[in-house]
């Protein structure tokens, strides 16, 4: 739990101005979703907690989706 709190502070909360409790809840929900869906974890051998489909080879373009207004980026392959 301490590692998660440190990560939240270093990668998220130290870079944003939180306006109110509603905004804080939205920021935390968005970051935790990103953290579990797209960010590799050392304890899981660089896998994500939520399994992602594996694409062995693809010629599709790589796209990105901004997280928290561009503070982080999530990358994925665009399907044709």
pLDDT by residue (tens digit) across 36-57?
A: 777 665 555 556 666 666 655 5
pLDDT at 20: 95
Q: What is the mean pLDDT of residues 24-44?
A: 78
DSSP 7: H
Q: What is the 3-state secondary structure (H, E, C) of 13-69?
A: HHHCCCCCHHHHHHHHHHHHHHHHHCCCEHHHCCECCCCCCCCCCCCCCEEEEEECC
Q: Determine the Cα–Cα distance for residues 20 and 12; give it in Å rounded to an integer.
A: 16
pLDDT at 23: 92
């Amino acid at each position: 739990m301490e590692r998660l709190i440190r990560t939240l502070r270093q990668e998220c909360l130290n870079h944003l101005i939180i306006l109110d409790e509603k905004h804080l809840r939205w920021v935390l929900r968005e970051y935790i979703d990103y953290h579990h869906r797209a960010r590799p974890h050392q304890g899981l051998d660089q896998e994500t907690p939520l399994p992602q489909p594996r694409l062995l080879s693809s010629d599709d373009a790589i796209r990105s989706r901004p997280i928290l207004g561009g503070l982080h980026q999530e990358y994925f392959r665009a399907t044709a």
